[in-house]
Amino acid sequence: MSQASSFSNNRAEDDARSTRELIIAESLRCFAESGYDGTSLNDIAAGVGIRRPSLLHHFASKEALYAEVFEKLLADWLEHLDIAVADRALGWAKVELVLNAGFQLFEDTPDYVRMMRREALDGGTHPGIDLAAVLRPLFDAASAYFDAQMEAGVFKRHNSRHLLITGYGAILTYFSDAAFIDGLIDDDALTKEHIAEHRDHVLSFFKSALIG
């Protein structure tokens, strides 16, 4: 009856992986849209086209499912950002590279941003997840980079750690609060055009503050 089982002509393992992935994808959608408490396992199961017990056959518990979705989120982000971070560009070029990579990533997966925001907002409520601990090496490295560039006179002097927090807020908010921003600008904030507009603004604004 379910769509999933109609594919079971293929190898069983393929089907298994596919259903797991469907569950993770639907969970991401639901958790991003309604949060952990606002999402029931029935919601997710219904979105996938199976029953709750079948979902719990693939994941031990709601907590475990949430943790796995979140781990995938972090892994995807770190993978994509590492490419930009690893680039040997210097000065403003590197900042622009990372910001562009971030905007591209967030444009592709706005649900990730909303889920991440909810997690930051909850502040470590979910057991086994320590967002800050994972991101802190990146934070420290970025802070050191800015300090070095400021020391060298490439960037104007700012508090590098607060600069990063400001940037984090400025960029993620556009995606996490898109539904609210829709109402401010009276249009869909997540169109390609509006995102590009915001990206251009953030780039020129930060460049203006860092270089002049």
Tell me which residues touch DNA (CB under 7 A): 1-2, 4-5, 8-9, 11-13, 15-16, 19, 39-43, 45, 49-54, 56-58, 61-63
Q: Give the CA radius of gyration of the chain.
A: 20
Query: Quick one: what does residue 1 bind among its own copies, DNA, none, with the CB cut-off 5 to 8 Å set by partner type?
Result: DNA
Confirm if 142 and 164 have CB atoms less than 8 A apart: yes
Residue 193's Cβ-count burial label (10 Å; 0-12, 13-18, 19+) is: exposed
By CB under 8 A, name the one of 74, 78, 81, 120 that touches its own copies: 120
User: With CB cut-offs between 5 and 8 Å by kind, which of DNA, its own copies, none does residue 153 bind?
Assistant: none
Q: Give the span between the Cα atoms of 16 and 53, in whole angstroms.
A: 15
Near its own copies by CB under 8 A, which window of 12-20, 67-75, 100-108, 168-176? 168-176
Distance, in Å, from the CA atom of 195 to the CA atom of 197, rounded to the nearest integer, reads 5
The answer to whether the CB of 64 falls within 8 A of the CB of 24 is no
CA angle 150, 151, 153 (to 5 degrees): 65
Please report whether residue 74 would count as binding its own copies according to CB under 8 A. Answer: no
Q: Which residues bind its own copies (CB under 8 A)?
A: 34-38, 114, 117-125, 130-133, 135-136, 139, 156, 158-159, 161-163, 165-174, 176-185, 197-198, 200-202, 204-206, 208-209, 212
